[in-house]
C-alpha cells in the first residue's frame, strides 16, 4: 500500500524508469490543452470540471487540503487514519458501500494520503455519475465517527506500519530519511503515524480533527470524463451545495524549515538488511517553485532508467551498487532531493557516497550535452502525457495544479516550461542546492551482515523500476 500516491500521481512528479533507450522522440508540437471549467460554491467548495466524451466513463475526485503535516502534535498518522475511516459508514451508507457503488458496476475507487493532501477518487461508467456525487457528498457531510470504526481502522493502520516499515527491507531507512532531513517542519513525522501515538489517540481527538479539516471550504471536487456540464452543475449544487459552510478558521502549518548551515551525518542499523545502503538528502524548493522544472530534469538525467548516469556509473561500470535512485520529493513547503544506493556485495556505504557525490559534481561542473538534455526532458514529458490518456489521469493533473500548485492553469503551462529547461538551468540549480552545507548523509548498515551479502528480496521489492529504491512521500491506498 505504501506509495500508492506515486503510482497514481506519477504523471505529475516522476520520471520514466526502466527504459533502455538512449533517445526519445522530440516533442515539436504544443501539449494537448486541458479545457477545464472552475467555480466555487457558496459553502467554499471549489469545483473543477473537464468534459471529455472519448470514453463512457467519468472520474470523480475529492481533494482535501489536509495531509500528514497537519497531524496534531503527538498524534501523527491522523490524516492517514481518516483516509481509512472515510470508507466506513455514513448517515446514509453502510461501511464499505463505496466499494459496492463502484466495483459492482465495473469501476473502482481508492484514496491516498500525502504530506499536504488527502485524495479520494472513483472511476465509474458515466451513467453512475450522480450516484457517486451523492456518495462523496454524503461522506463529506455525514461520516459516522464512532468508537468501533475508529478502533478497527486504527488497528489496520498499525498493521500497515509494521508491514511497510518494520518488516520490509530498508523500510526503516525511509523513516530515517524523513526524520533526519527535517529539524523543525512537521514533514519530519511519518505520515503513516507510529504505534505509540496511534495507541494514545482518543475518539475525541479524532472527531476534533475531522471537524477541523473535513469541510467544504477545505475541499476541491474534480470531475473529468463523459458528462453534460449543465446536468453536472445541477447535481453538484444539489448534493454538495447543501453542506453547511464552516464557521471556524482553517488552521495552517506556518512552521518553516530553517536552511541547513552544515552537513549532518548519521549511522543507523537495520535488523533484516544484508547489504549496506546510503541515503543523501538536500533541502529543495517548494513544488510550485520555478526551480522545480530544472530539478525534475536533473532527476531524470541522474536516474531515469538504465541509460541514466547513476545506473551507468554505480551499477554498470563500477559495480558498486545493486540499486540506485535519485528523485525530487516535491512538497507544498520545503521539498527534498534524495539520492539512495544499496551497495553490491563487498562494497561499503562510504564507496556509495563517494560515487553519488561524484555524479552530482559532474552535473555542477560539466554542461549537459544537448542530446542528453533532450532525452531527459522527453522522458519526463512522455510519462506525464501517458498518464493523461485517461480521465482519471487528467483529473489528477488538474487537481494537483489547482490544490498544490495554487494555479489550475499550470496543468496546461507546466509541460512547456519543462521543455524550455536549458543545460544552464540544470547546472544553476545543481550549484544552488547541492552544497556541502545543505547535505544530510545516512549510512544504513546491517546489524548482522550476511556472509555472502545476498539480497533476500525480489527485484521489484523496492518499486516498479527494478533499479530504484522505494521512496516515501505518501501512505495509503486500501
Going from the C-alpha of 109 to that of each of 52, 68, 103, 117, 123, the distances in angstroms are: 20, 21, 8, 17, 6
Q: Where on the phi/psi map is residue 181: left (φ > 0), alpha (ψ -120 to 50), or beta? A: alpha
**Beta-strand runs (E) in 83-156:** 108-114, 118-125
User: Tell me, what's the pLDDT at 164?
Assistant: 87
pLDDT mean for each 10 residues of the chain (478 residues): 38 38 46 92 98 96 97 90 92 94 97 96 98 97 92 92 89 94 94 89 91 96 98 98 94 96 96 94 98 98 96 97 96 97 97 98 97 97 93 97 97 95 98 98 86 40 32 42
Strand ranges across the sheet with 321-329: 264-270, 439-446, 277-284, 335-343, 321-329
As a whole number of angstroms, the distance between CA 145 and CA 204 comes to 10
Domains of the chain in sequence order? 4-19+34-239 (3.30.830.10), 264-472 (3.30.830.10)
pTM for this entry: 0.87
Closest CA to 321 of 300, 301, 339: 339
Q: Where on the phi/psi map is residue 170: left (φ > 0), alpha (ψ -120 to 50), or beta? A: left
Which cell numbers in the block locate residue 163? Answer: 508491514
**Beta-strand runs (E) in 145-258:** 219-225
User: Tell me, what's the pLDDT at 20?
Assistant: 37
Please measure the distance between the N-terminal and C-terminal CA atoms of the chain and give it in whole angstroms.
7
Which cell numbers in the block locate residue 209? Answer: 480533527
Q: Strands 118-125, 264-270: parallel, antiparallel or unpaired by DSSP?
A: unpaired
Q: How many residues does the chain have?
A: 478
DSSP 8-state secondary structure symbol assigned to residue 126: G
As a whole number of angstroms, the distance between CA 37 and CA 408 comes to 10
Q: How far is CA 112 from the centre of its chain?
A: 9
442-457 CB burial, b ≥16 within 10 A, e <16: bbbbbeeeeeebebeb
Amino acid at each position: 500500500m505504501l506509495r500508492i500516491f506515486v503510482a497514481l500521481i506519477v504523471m505529475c512528479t516522476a520520471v520514466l524508469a526502466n527504459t533502455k533507450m538512449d533517445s526519445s522522440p522530440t516533442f515539436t508540437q504544443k501539449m494537448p490543452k486541458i479545457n477545464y471549467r472552475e467555480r466555487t460554491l457558496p459553502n467554499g467548495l471549489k469545483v473543477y470540471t473537464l468534459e471529455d466524451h472519448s470514453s463512457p466513463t467519468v472520474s470523480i475526485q475529492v481533494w482535501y487540503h489536509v495531509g500528514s503535516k497537519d497531524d496534531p502534535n503527538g498524534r501523527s498518522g491522523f490524516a492517514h487514519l481518516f483516509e481509512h475511516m472515510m470508507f466506513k459508514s455514513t448517515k446514509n451508507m453502510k461501511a464499505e458501500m463505496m466499494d459496492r457503488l463502484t466495483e459492482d458496476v465495473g469501476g473502482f475507487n481508492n484514496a491516498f494520503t500525502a504530506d499536504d493532501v488527502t485524495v479520494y477518487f472513483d472511476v465509474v461508467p458515466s451513467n453512475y455519475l450522480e450516484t457517486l456525487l451523492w456518495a462523496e457528498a454524503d461522506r463529506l457531510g455525514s461520516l459516522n465517527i464512532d468508537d468501533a470504526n475508529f478502533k478497527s481502522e486504527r488497528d489496520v493502520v498499525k498493521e500497515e506500519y509494521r508491514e511497510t516499515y518494520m518488516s520490509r527491507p530498508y523500510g526503516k531507512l525511509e523513516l530515517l530519511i524523513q526524520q533526519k532531513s527535517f529539524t523543525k517542519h512537521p514533514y519530519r513525522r511519518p505520515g503513516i503515524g507510529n504505534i505509540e501515538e496511534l495507541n494514545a489517540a482518543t475518539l475525541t481527538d479524532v472527531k476534533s480533527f475531522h471537524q477541523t479539516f473535513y469541510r467544504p471550504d477545505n475541499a476541491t471536487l474534480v470531475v473529468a470524463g463523459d458528462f453534460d456540464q449543465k446536468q453536472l452543475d445541477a447535481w453538484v449544487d444539489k448534493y454538495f451545495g447543501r453542506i453547511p459552510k464552516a464557521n471556524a478558521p482553517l488552521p495552517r502549518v506556518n512552521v518553516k524549515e530553517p536552511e541547513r548551515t552544515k552537513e549532518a551525518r548519521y549511522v543507523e542499523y537495520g535488523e533484516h538488511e544484508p547489504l549496506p545502503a546510503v541515503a543523501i538528502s538536500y533541502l529543495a524548493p517548494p513544488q510550485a517553485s520555478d526551480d522545480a522544472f530544472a530539478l525534475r530534469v536533473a532527476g531524470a538525467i541522474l536516474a531515469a532508467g538504465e541509460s541514466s548516469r547513476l545506473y551507468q556509473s554505480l551499477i554498470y561500470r563500477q559495480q558498486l551498487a545493486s540499486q540506485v535512485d535519485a528523485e525530487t520529493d516535491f512538497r507544498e513547503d520545503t521539498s527534498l532531493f534524495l539520492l539512495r544506493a544499496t551497495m553490491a556485495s563487498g562494497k561499503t556505504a562510504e564507496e556509495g557516497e563517494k560515487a553519488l557525490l561524484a555524479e552530482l559534481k559532474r552535473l555542477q561542473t560539466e554542461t549537459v550535452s544537448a542530446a542528453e538534455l533532450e532525452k531527459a526532458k522527453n522522458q519526463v514529458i512522455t510519462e506525464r502525457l501517458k498518464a493523461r490518456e485517461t480521465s482519471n489521469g487528467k483529473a489528477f493533473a488538474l487537481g494537483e495544479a489547482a490544490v498544490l500548485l495554487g494555479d489550475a492553469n499550470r496543468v496546461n503551462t507546466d509541460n512547456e516550461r519543462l521543455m524550455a529547461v536549458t543545460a544552464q538551468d540544470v547546472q544553476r540549480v545543481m550549484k544552488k542546492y547541492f552544497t556541502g552545507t545543505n547535505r544530510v548523509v545516512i549510512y544504513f548498515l546491517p546489524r548482522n551482515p550476511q556472509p555472502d551479502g545476498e539480497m533476500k528480496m525480489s527485484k521489484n521489492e523496492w518499486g516498479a523500476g527494478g533499479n530504484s529504491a522505494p521512496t516515501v512521500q505518501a501512505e495509503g491506498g486500501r
